Amino acid sequence: MSVVVLGTVRLPVSDASPKAARDMANAVAQTWELADDVAYRARLATSELATNAIRYGIGSTIQVVVSRRQRRLRGEVHDGSPVLPVRQQQACARSRGGG
């Protein structure tokens, strides 16, 4: 069961990068003729991950990777931090984030 990288791109930390990440995920979805609901979720998740990496990450670039293992699609966004993110308790009254 090998992982097949379908697309990868390095983007600057900027307000335009979440859209660029979303566009890359969409291009991969179209190339691989993924179902519309899968393509939608890939675009949404990739955009959210890119936004979080830009907002909270370290460094001047992010790397977006879309891969496939059997029937599973995987989206990754990496920033320059050597530390993995830590899940935090969300406040209900937050105006942004948390899904």
| Mean pLDDT value across residues 32-61 | 92
Question: pLDDT tens-digit profile of 3-39?
Answer: 889 889 999 999 999 999 999 999 988 888 888 998 9
Does 97 have pLDDT greater than 60?
no
Question: Tell me, what CATH number does 49's domain have?
Answer: 3.30.565.10
28 belongs to a structural domain: yes
21 CB-side CA count, 13 A: 32
For 29, the domain range is 4-78
Query: For the chain, what is the radius of gyration of the CA atoms?
Result: 14
pLDDT reported for residue 18 = 96
85 belongs to a structural domain: no
* Structural domains of the chain, count: 1
β-bridge mates for residue 11, sequence order:
62
Question: pLDDT tens-digit profile of 60-96?
Answer: 999 999 988 887 888 899 999 888 888 877 766 656 6
pLDDT reported for residue 92 = 65
83 belongs to a structural domain: no
pLDDT reported for residue 65 = 94
β-bridge mates for residue 62, sequence order:
11
